[in-house]
Amino acid sequence: MSREAVAFPPPPVNGSAEPEAGSLVQAVLACLDDAKAEDIVTIDLQGKTTLADIMIIASGRSNVHVGAMAEHVMKAFRAAGAPAPRIQGLPHCDWVLVDGGDVIIHLFRPEVRQFYNLEKMWGRDRPGEHQAG
């Protein structure tokens, strides 16, 4: 898989999101790029669910890489002054969920990402959704 660069502004974060949510998304995308995340995708969830406003999905090459990406994301939350996110999946690092409230980040090993195929579930090709790069 090729690594996708983060070269676009994230979709606008409206509704119940705090004004800082857009800058948090930018910080997370930048840290994932720095951590050499692959196939970074953002999905605008507004109007689809009340779980979050933005979902970010990225792949790591191995369990160790996925765990390191999760650590980088947690540091990005701290650096942005955002509340500490809830983390699930760190012991195995096949799939790590970083729940930051309005921003949810899924970090996968490629084969696990392909199995769950969240992009299809949340309508990746619908208007308002963006692939980084």
User: Number of folded domains in the chain?
Assistant: 1
Q: Is residue 9 part of a domain?
A: no
- For residue 90, give both structure tokens: 């760190």
Q: Average pLDDT of 46-60?
A: 90
Which CATH number characterizes residue 104's domain?
A: 3.30.460.10
Please give the residue range of the domain that contains residue 54: 21-124
- For residue 107, give both structure tokens: 């970090």
Q: Is residue 10 part of a domain?
A: no
Half-sphere exposure of 115 (CA within 13 A, CB side): 7
- For residue 113, give both structure tokens: 């990402």
Q: Average pLDDT of 35-54?
A: 90
Check residue 127 and give its pLDDT: 47
Q: Is residue 117 part of a domain?
A: yes
The pTM for the full model equals 0.77
pLDDT in tens, 81-128: 999 999 999 989 999 999 999 999 999 999 999 999 998 887 645 445
Helix/strand/coil (H/E/C) assignment for every residue in 49-80:
CCCCCEEEEEECCCHHHHHHHHHHHHHHHHHC
Q: Average pLDDT of 49-66?
A: 93
